[in-house]
A and B are shown apart, each in its own frame.
Chain A
């Protein structure tokens, strides 16, 4: 085996390199497929810019858009193509203005030779490590028939790879002229598409290497292309101890048998307005006191609202923000796909050493994310956080204020390692709140409920409500009370 065949070239798109398990194998040919506007040229620009940044010789062969426009487009997405060599084979305006159209011979007979000569000259002159050819399907018009095209392309790709170039080429296919032939010829295929949930990227083939299958979310914006690999929790793991993290409230810690553990998922369940977010903030406050960083992704309430509430109950979120112990990020509806969101969470965990992640709330997550099968997505995200030793708080809203007890209205309770529930109670015509623990996977917990109150001094938790019966019905009675 040639020792250089294992060398990989970074594409310049972090998420794509992750999907490709490190990048494109050098000296191979790759087909980028997709309809108009799916980002084929953008991907190629990233690929060339990444090479140029490493000081490699790179060549852009364009058969469609002209060099000046491509350079402008690249600059607009922040890519530096100043060290990229261009071979511009796009038709100039003079083709139209000077009636250069002809019909006496086929384009294949007229153009093939001069174009081939220009390409060969450019390759010999630049000796590129990376070549991007956009779109190769234009060369179809330079062949008299399908057989000739296939033979010419194979020969051309071999010409490039024999000179140690790694080649990325695009195709424009449609029902009339499919690009199946190119798919067979290429060593790798990257499919770009757009569906109702947004843009996506799929690696369909990669000779000589493993890769992450399935469709991955992709974004094109003013910074170019970003790819968000599907989160595979089993690929992420750190060694950690399931140490207990206290809440800072002795009564709550007693309920929880000391607190919640690192690497566990805790549901904060209850009806609207009962205090789920405030309870979560209490854990965040205590984490900050231990110099542990938290992030709160709020999918319903605005950041300012949460800060104002935190001021009222002495959580001190603003001070935590200033010290870098907390980030509150508002996720706007339909702003992210689940994988894009997961990428943000990963950034927090892997680069900012975040130890506690709170997602407020599960119903907000379901409403805000673009995509399908959101329960599986949430499952993958929380399992990832578990594997990374991060404590997860998920607020789960139940529809009913009182009455029949349910932890969650969604089929997700299997995810929970710990379930803390908050309830409204009506006692003697007065509205009260109670807190209890329904489940704790690691360790024992208090089986009784306690009164829960949010005051100007903070969260107050009372003594166990041992003299009440029927609490889960929402209308408990005192022991010994008549009726």
Chain B
């Protein structure tokens, strides 16, 4: 598995991140993990190769949208995860590059389909 097959998971709740990491690992993909905005900024600064990003916006301030925009600028597909959906949040998400928005709690089967779909379709990022 090459570094370009990696998924980025972003979230502020460590338990959520653990569960997501374990779940994605079971699907057979490698991950990079950012539990804070600082970690995410560092990953972006380091220009780590990534195939796809799942961003749980819960617990982050507005700065998370800038990071999303930076991911989008690198053509990394974005799946935004949020606790509830509002028109304003959806607009913000799509404006900053989200391809899909999923509401928590996620259904594992649906998430697995979405991840496989992205991983197979996404063009890859050369970093």
Name A residues whose Cβ lies closer than 8 Å to a Cβ of B. 99-106, 109-110
Nearest chain B residue, comparing its CB with the CB of A95: B15
A106 to B19, CA, bound (A): 11
Structural contact, A105 and B13, CB atoms closer than 8 A: no
Number of residue pairs spanning A and B whose beta carbons lie under 8 angstroms apart: 38
Which B1-59 residues have C-beta < 8 A from chain A?
A: 11, 13-16, 19-20, 23, 56, 58
Structural contact, B15 and A102, CB atoms closer than 8 A: yes
Closest CB-CB distance, A108 to chain B, in whole Å? Answer: 9
Closest CB-CB distance, B31 to chain A, in whole Å? Answer: 14
Structural contact, B107 and A104, CB atoms closer than 8 A: no
Closest CB-CB distance, B79 to chain A, in whole Å? Answer: 12
> What residues of chain A lie closer than 8 Å to B108, measured between beta carbons?
105, 109
Q: Name the residue in B11, B58, B81, B105 with the highest tally of chain A Cβ atoms < 10 Å from its Cβ.
A: B105
Pick the residue among A100, A101, A104, A110 that contacts B56 (CB under 8 A): A104
Pick the residue among B11, B83, B106 that contacts A105 (CB under 8 A): B106
> What residues of chain B lie closer than 8 Å to A110, measured between beta carbons?
19
Structural contact, A103 and B107, CB atoms closer than 8 A: no
Pick the residue among A104, A106, A109 that contacts B13 (CB under 8 A): A104
A323 to B14, CA, bound (A): 76
Closest CB-CB distance, A344 to chain B, in whole Å? Answer: 56
> What residues of chain B lie closer than 8 Å to A100, measured between beta carbons?
15
Secondary structure type dominating chain A contacts: loop
A103 to B16, CA, bound (A): 7
Bitwise interface map of B from 99 to 123 toward A, beta carbon under 8 Å scored 1, else 0: 0000011111000000000000000
A105 to B105, CA, bound (A): 4
Structural contact, A103 and B14, CB atoms closer than 8 A: no
Nearest chain A residue, comparing its CB with the CB of B23: A105
Structural contact, B14 and A104, CB atoms closer than 8 A: no
A101 to B12, CA, bound (A): 12
Structural contact, A101 and B15, CB atoms closer than 8 A: yes
Closest CB-CB distance, A260 to chain B, in whole Å? Answer: 77
A165 to B3, CA, bound (A): 52
Nearest chain A residue, comparing its CB with the CB of B54: A104
| Given A104-B20, A104-B56, A105-B19; A99-B13 close (CB under 8 Å) | yes
Contact sample, A vs B, 14 pairs, CB 8 Å cutoff: A99-B14, A101-B13, A103-B58, A103-B104, A104-B13, A104-B19, A104-B20, A104-B106, A105-B105, A105-B106, A105-B107, A105-B108, A106-B107, A110-B19
A441 to B72, CA, bound (A): 103
7 shortest A-B CB distances, which residue pairs?
A104-B16, A102-B15, A106-B105, A102-B16, A109-B108, A103-B104, A100-B15
Closest CB-CB distance, B21 to chain A, in whole Å? Answer: 11
Bitwise interface map of B from 80 to 111 toward A, beta carbon under 8 Å scored 1, else 0: 01010000000000000000000011111000
> What residues of chain A lie closer than 8 Å to B23, measured between beta carbons?
105
A107 to B58, CA, bound (A): 18
Q: Name the residue in A102, A103, A104, A110 with the highest tally of chain B Cβ atoms < 10 Å from its Cβ.
A: A104
A407 to B105, CA, bound (A): 76
Closest CB-CB distance, A144 to chain B, in whole Å? Answer: 8
A33 to B80, CA, bound (A): 44
A100 to B16, CA, bound (A): 9
Nearest chain A residue, comparing its CB with the CB of B81: A104
A101 to B58, CA, bound (A): 14
Nearest chain B residue, comparing its CB with the CB of A101: B15
> What residues of chain B lie closer than 8 Å to A105, measured between beta carbons?
19, 23, 105-108
Q: A104-B11, A104-B13 are in contact. List 4 more A-B contacts (CB 8 A).
A: A103-B13, A103-B105, A104-B104, A104-B106
A448 to B58, CA, bound (A): 98
A106 to B103, CA, bound (A): 12
A103 to B19, CA, bound (A): 10
Nearest chain A residue, comparing its CB with the CB of B17: A104
> What residues of chain A lie closer than 8 Å to B19, measured between beta carbons?
102, 104-105, 110
A103 to B83, CA, bound (A): 8
Nearest chain B residue, comparing its CB with the CB of A109: B108
A384 to B47, CA, bound (A): 91
> What residues of chain B lie closer than 8 Å to A104, measured between beta carbons?
11, 13, 16, 19-20, 56, 81, 104-106
> What residues of chain A lie closer than 8 Å to B107, measured between beta carbons?
105-106, 109
Closest CB-CB distance, B15 to chain A, in whole Å? Answer: 4
Structural contact, A99 and B106, CB atoms closer than 8 A: no
> What residues of chain A lie closer than 8 Å to B13, measured between beta carbons?
99, 101-104
Nearest chain B residue, comparing its CB with the CB of A107: B105
Nearest chain A residue, comparing its CB with the CB of B58: A103
Closest CB-CB distance, B56 to chain A, in whole Å? Answer: 7
Nearest chain B residue, comparing its CB with the CB of A100: B15
Closest CB-CB distance, A107 to chain B, in whole Å? Answer: 9
Nearest chain B residue, comparing its CB with the CB of A106: B105
A102 to B16, CA, bound (A): 5
A99 to B12, CA, bound (A): 11
A110 to B19, CA, bound (A): 8
> What residues of chain B lie closer than 8 Å to A102, measured between beta carbons?
13, 15-16, 19
A110 to B14, CA, bound (A): 15
